[in-house]
């Protein structure tokens, strides 16, 4: 693992597909990180399970994501070198980074970048070629 990566970890997550209104009003535990993938789909990091926000909701414990934690400086450098969209100033954003679909949560202390586990090795390689 390249030295600039603070952490690479499999992340416990729950993915929910539900009616958009139900997702708008649903409340999640305070320590969960919410990523609103689409109006009718949400990914909750650091959770093992969740209550269905409506009767037809699909609640799926999802082990298919890998999280990379970067310093704000490295996060900004990664975007400059490998993304054609500006990073969110704070909070969630998603799009291509180094040609791989990625989700990002920008925080004041650290940037979390989440990619599908099936692409995590490729992502780590490409991240390394941009940051070193």
User: What is the closest distance, in whole angstroms, from the C-beta atom of residue 71 to other proteins in the complex?
Assistant: 19
Please report the sign of the dihedral spanned by the C-alpha atoms of residue 128, residue 34, residue 54, residue 29: positive
Closer Cβ to other proteins, 33 or 94, answer by number: 94
Identify the CA nearest to 78 among candidates 113, 40, 46: 113
How far the first Cα of the chain sits from its last, in Å, is: 12
Q: Which residues bind other proteins (CB under 8 A)?
A: 10, 15, 17-19, 36-41, 56-58, 60-65, 79-86, 93-96, 98-101, 116-119, 121-123, 126, 129
Closer Cβ to other proteins, 69 or 127, answer by number: 127
């Amino acid at each position: 693992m390249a030295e600039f990566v603070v952490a690479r970890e499999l992340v416990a997550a729950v993915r929910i597909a539900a009616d958009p209104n139900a997702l708008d009003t649903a409340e999640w535990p305070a320590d969960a990180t919410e990523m609103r993938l689409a109006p009718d789909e949400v990914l909750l990091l650091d959770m093992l399970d969740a209550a269905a926000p409506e009767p037809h909701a699909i609640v799926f414990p999802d082990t298919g994501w890998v999280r990379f934690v970067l310093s704000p400086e490295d996060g900004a450098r990664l975007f400059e070198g490998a993304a054609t969209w500006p990073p969110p100033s704070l909070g969630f954003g998603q799009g291509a980074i180094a040609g791989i679909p990625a989700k990002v949560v920008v925080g004041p202390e650290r940037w979390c970048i989440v990619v599908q586990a099936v692409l995590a090795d490729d992502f780590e390689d490409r991240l390394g070629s941009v940051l070193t």
